A and B are shown apart, each in its own frame.
Chain A
Amino acid sequence: MNPITPIINGMKITFKHMFMKPVTLQYPTERPKVSQRFRGLHGLKVSHSKAKCVACYLCPTVCPAKCITVEAAEDANHDKYAAVYEIDMLRCIFCGYCVEACPVDALKMTGEFELANYHRQDFIYSKERLLEK
Chain B
Amino acid sequence: MVNVTIDDKQVTAPKTATIYEAAKLNGIKIPILCHDKKLKPFGACRMCLVEVEQMKGRQIPACTTPVTEGMIIRTSTPDIIKARKMVLELLLLNHPLDCPVCDKSGDCDLQNLTYEYKVNTNRFKDEKFHHSIDYNNPLIERDMNRCVLCGKCARICDEIVSFGALTFIDRGIETKIGCEFDDALNCEFCGSCVSVCPVGALLARPFKHKARFWALTKHTSVCGYCGTGCNLTLGVKDNKVLTTIYDENQGFHKGQLCVRGRFGYQFINSAQRLTSPLVRKNGKLMETSWDEALELVAGRLKTGTSVAALATPRLTNEELALFKTLLLENVGTKNFDHSAGFAHSALTEGFTRSFGESASSASILDIQKSDMLLVIKTDAYETHPVVGFEVNMAVKNKGVKLSIISDKRGKLSKLPDATTLVHRPGCEVAVLNAIAKTIIDEKLSVDTAMTVPGYAEIVTALSEFSAEAVAAQSGLTAADIKKLASEYATAEKALIVFPVGQGYAGHNADLASAAANLALLTGKYGKEGCGVLCLSEKNNSQGAVDMGFYAQDGGLNSLQILDACVSGAVKTLFIAGEDPLTSYPDRTKVKAALDAVEFLVVSELFLTETAAMADVVLPACSFAEKEGTFTSTDRRVQFIKPAIRKNAQTKTDFEIFSDLITRLGGQSVATPAEKFTEIAAHTPGYAGLSHITLRKEGAFATAATKPAFVVPNSTPSPAIENGKLALVTGSVLYHNGTLSQYGEGPMHVCPEGYLELSRMDASVYKIADNDLLTVSSAAGSMQLKAKVSSRMPAGVVFAPYHFSSAPINSIWTGSPVTMVTVAK
Interface residues of A (CB under 8 A from B): 54-58, 61, 72-74, 78-80, 103-104
Contacts and interface: CB of A to CB of B under 8 A. Distances in A.
Contact of A78 (B100, B105, B135, B211): B135
What's the dominant secondary structure at chain A's contact region? loop
A103 B209 contact: no
A54 B100 contact: yes
A85 to B, nearest CB: 14
A78 B208 CA distance: 10
B271 interface: no
A80 B215 contact: no
B101 A57 contact: no
Residue among B101, B133, B208, B214 with max Cβ neighbours from chain A (10 Å)? B101
Contacts of B135: 78
Residue among B105, B135, B209 with max Cβ neighbours from chain A (10 Å)? B209
Contacts of B101: 54-56, 79-80
B99 interface: yes
Contacts of A72: 209-210
A102 B524 CA distance: 65
Interface in B703-751: none
Given A57-B215, A61-B214, A61-B215, A104 B100 contact: yes
Interface in B67-99: 99
Nearest to B141: A78
Given A58-B100, A79-B101, A104-B100, 18 more contacts: A54-B101, A55-B101, A55-B209, A56-B99, A56-B100, A56-B101, A56-B105, A57-B212, A61-B212, A61-B214, A73-B209, A74-B208, A74-B209, A78-B133, A80-B100, A80-B101, A80-B209, A103-B100
What's the dominant secondary structure at chain B's contact region? loop
A61 B99 CA distance: 15
A120 to B, nearest CB: 21
Nearest to B211: A57
A78 B134 CA distance: 11
A43 to B, nearest CB: 19
8 contacts: A56-B99, A58-B100, A72-B210, A73-B209, A74-B208, A78-B135, A79-B101, A103-B100
Contacts of B215: 57, 61
A72 B242 CA distance: 14
Given A74-B209, A78-B135, A103 B214 contact: no
Q: Which 10 A-B pairs have the closest CB atoms?
A: A56-B100, A72-B209, A80-B101, A57-B212, A103-B100, A54-B100, A54-B101, A80-B209, A74-B209, A104-B100
Interface in B90-124: 99-101, 105
Contacts of B100: 54, 56, 58, 80, 103-104
Interface of B: 99-101, 105, 133, 135, 208-212, 214-215
Contacts of A54: 100-101
A1 B211 CA distance: 72
A23 B745 CA distance: 66
A58 B212 CA distance: 9
Contacts of B209: 55, 72-74, 80
A61 B105 CA distance: 13
Contacts of A103: 99-100
Contacts of A73: 209
A6 to B, nearest CB: 61
A82 to B, nearest CB: 10
A56 B212 CA distance: 8
B746 to A, nearest CB: 21
A55 B211 CA distance: 10
Contacts of B211: 57
B269 to A, nearest CB: 15
Nearest to B210: A72
A56 B104 CA distance: 11
Nearest to A72: B209
Nearest to B214: A61
A61 B100 CA distance: 13
Nearest to B209: A72
A58 B100 CA distance: 8
B599 to A, nearest CB: 45
A47 to B, nearest CB: 15
Residue among A54, A55, A80, A104 with max Cβ neighbours from chain B (10 Å)? A80
Contacts of A74: 208-209
Contacts of B105: 56
Contacts of A104: 100
A94 B305 CA distance: 70
Contacts of A61: 212, 214-215
Nearest to B143: A78
A58 B99 CA distance: 11
A72 to B, nearest CB: 4
A54 B133 CA distance: 19
A54 B99 CA distance: 10
A104 B133 CA distance: 22
Contacts of B214: 61
A91 to B, nearest CB: 18
Nearest to B98: A54
A54 B212 CA distance: 13
A78 B212 CA distance: 17
A61 B106 CA distance: 12
Nearest to A102: B100
A103 B215 CA distance: 18
Residue among B100, B105, B210, B211 with max Cβ neighbours from chain A (10 Å)? B100
A121 to B, nearest CB: 21
A59 to B, nearest CB: 11
A70 to B, nearest CB: 9
A104 B102 CA distance: 14
A79 B214 CA distance: 21
Contacts of B99: 56, 103
Nearest to B205: A74
A61 B210 CA distance: 15
A103 B105 CA distance: 13
A75 to B, nearest CB: 10
Contacts of B208: 74
A30 to B, nearest CB: 42
Nearest to B105: A56
Contacts of A78: 133, 135
Nearest to A78: B135
Contacts of B212: 57, 61
A106 to B, nearest CB: 9
A79 B209 CA distance: 10
A48 to B, nearest CB: 16
A55 B209 CA distance: 9
B813 to A, nearest CB: 47
Contacts of A55: 101, 209
Contacts of A57: 211-212, 215
Nearest to A80: B101
Contacts of A58: 100
Residue among B208, B212, B214 with max Cβ neighbours from chain A (10 Å)? B212
B158 to A, nearest CB: 29
